[in-house]
């Protein structure tokens, strides 16, 4: 159990998918203008990333490795992710059409989110078993959602500030992101101890 | 709805997430509305892949009804809103409940059996169970009208969505 907890803390904070691995940067900058959109996107990504991690583990273990088709890994994983996004969209629509109307906007954006492909590939690279793959995907997505929400909160505050004209918009966003990344570097001390 | 987010408070002080939509038809006291695609969406690098703005079909799928208490007419643009709290609850119902069931079931089975295949089957079962619970919860929210957007005002001619 302790091993799983360490894996999750490492994935969410120490090796944060956005600020340390630099994955999913387009959605990080694109959907963080408002906290509610950031949280909605974060939750949808958490669901898709966790389910994708599970499915890609099964595919890797029961199909790609036994048949020696490891060279098709990236293509296969992209297909799986696209299928999971479509499946999620269908399920949300089936569970409640009202929910689909409210939340459906985020799902197509996840298909083009590179962190959703990056995490299953990292699972393969680290030779994770089923539980490790699932928890690593889940914790990475939690870290992604946390950063999205924190950064959206910061940008909402920045929007109320008197920012010099040359820095207004994306420039001040990038500067804030770099300061946030520096703050998260503090978590790397956890692994050293 | 949420891609067009800006903020407004209803009379009870709750924050609403606003969006602009166009009335496409009227039917016995209700108006059918279609959300407008944001200008920010058109500039997105993923625009070609995105179902949110991928042609008329996807917009039709996102149509919703509101009570026509304000004498709306076909073609009018209106600002509608949904409570921020309800939006958060909807996110929990749709994603967190199925995921939570999947994770808890997997951890319990893994601690008991220590077998990857059995744990994977338990995860699938947990996900299915979670979806059933989510369906029940979403039904209750819909029955209470928590997921139905509300009319706020008519949109000004130049008023657009505020994605960015």
In tens, the pLDDT along A155-167 reads: 888 888 888 888 8
Torsions phi, psi for A125 (to 5 deg) = -60, -35
Mean confidence (pLDDT) of chain A: 85
- The answer to whether the Cα torsion of A37, B91, B100, A87 is positive or negative is negative
Rounded CA separation A124/B105 (Å): 23
DSSP state of A169: T
Task: Please give the C-alpha separations between residue B72 and each of A138, B77, B90, B154, in angstroms, as whole numbers.
Answer: 45, 9, 27, 9
CB proximity B3 to A under 8 Å? yes
Name the B residues in 42-81 with CB < 8 Å from any A CB: 44-46, 49-52, 54, 61-64
Phi-psi region of B32 (alpha: psi -120 to 50; beta: other; left: phi over 0): beta
Whether residue B129 has pLDDT greater than 90 = yes
Residues 6+ away with beta carbon under 8 Å from A164: none
DSSP state of B155: P
CB proximity B34 to A under 8 Å? no
Write out chain B residues lying below 8 Å of A93, CB-based.
Answer: 61
A173-182 mean pLDDT: 89
Helix (H) or strand (E) holding B111: helix B97-113
Strand-pair partners of B22: B34, B77
Q: How confident is the model at residue B49 (pLDDT cuts 50, 70, 90)?
A: low
Q: How confident is the model at residue B162 (pLDDT cuts 50, 70, 90)?
A: very low
Tell me if A39 and B88 make a contact (CB, 8 A cut-off).
Answer: yes
ipTM of the complex: 0.81
* Closest-approach residue (CA) in chain A for B117: A130
User: Would you kindly state where each structural domain of chain A is located, as residue ranges?
Assistant: 7-185
Tell me if B120 and A130 make a contact (CB, 8 A cut-off).
Answer: yes
Residues 6+ away with beta carbon under 8 Å from B61: A93, A100, A104
Q: How many CB atoms lie within 10 A of CB A71?
A: 9
Residues 6+ away with beta carbon under 8 Å from A190: A9, A10, A13, A14
Helix (H) or strand (E) holding B57: helix B55-61
* Closest-approach residue (CA) in chain B for A139: B103
Rounded CA separation B60/B75 (Å): 15
Rounded CA separation A17/A31 (Å): 16
State residue B75's pLDDT score: 85
Full-model pTM: 0.78
Buried b (16+ CB within 10 A) or exposed e, B116-136: beebbebbbebbebbbeebbe
Torsions phi, psi for A72 (to 5 deg) = -95, 10
Is the separation of the CB atoms in B33 and B150 below 8 Å?
no
- pLDDT, tens only, A72-90: 999 999 999 989 888 888 8
């Amino acid at each position: 159990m302790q091993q799983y907890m360490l894996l999750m803390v490492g994935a969410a904070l120490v090796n944060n998918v956005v600020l340390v691995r630099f994955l999913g940067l387009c959605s990080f900058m694109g959907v963080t203008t408002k906290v509610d959109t950031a949280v909605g996107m974060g939750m949808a990504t958490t669901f898709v990333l966790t389910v994708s991690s599970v499915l890609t583990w099964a595919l890797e273990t029961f199909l790609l490795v036994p048949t020696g088709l490891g060279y098709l890994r990236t293509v296969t994983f992209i297909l799986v992710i696209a299928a999971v996004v479509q499946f999620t969209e269908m399920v949300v629509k089936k569970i409640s059409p009202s929910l689909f109307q409210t939340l459906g906007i985020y799902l197509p954006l996840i298909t083009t989110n590179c962190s959703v492909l990056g995490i299953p590939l990292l699972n393969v690279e680290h030779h994770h078993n089923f539980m490790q793959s699932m928890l690593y995907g889940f914790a990475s997505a939690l870290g992604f959602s946390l950063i999205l929400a924190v950064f959206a909160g910061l940008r909402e505050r920045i929007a109320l500030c008197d920012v010099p004209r040359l820095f207004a918009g994306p420039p001040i966003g990038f500067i804030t992101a770099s300061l946030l990344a520096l703050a998260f570097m503090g978590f790397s001390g956890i692994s050293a101890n | 709805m949420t891609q067009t987010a800006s903020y407004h408070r209803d009379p009870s002080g709750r924050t609403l997430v606003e969006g602009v939509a166009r009335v496409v038809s009227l039917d016995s006291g209700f108006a059918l509305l279609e959300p407008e695609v944001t200008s920010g969406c058109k500039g997105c690098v993923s625009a070609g892949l995105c179902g949110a703005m991928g042609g008329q079909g996807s917009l039709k799928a996102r149509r919703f009804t509101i009570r026509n208490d304000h004498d709306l007419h076909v073609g009018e643009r209106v600002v509608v809103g949904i409570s921020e709290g309800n939006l958060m609850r909807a996110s929990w119902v749709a994603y967190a409940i199925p995921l939570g069931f999947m994770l808890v079931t997997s951890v319990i089975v893994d601690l008991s059996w220590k077998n990857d295949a059995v744990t994977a089957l338990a995860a699938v079962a947990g996900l299915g169970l979670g979806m059933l619970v989510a369906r029940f919860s979403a039904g209750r929210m819909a029955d209470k009208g928590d997921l139905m957007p509300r009319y706020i005002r008519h949109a000004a001619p130049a008023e657009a969505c505020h994605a960015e």
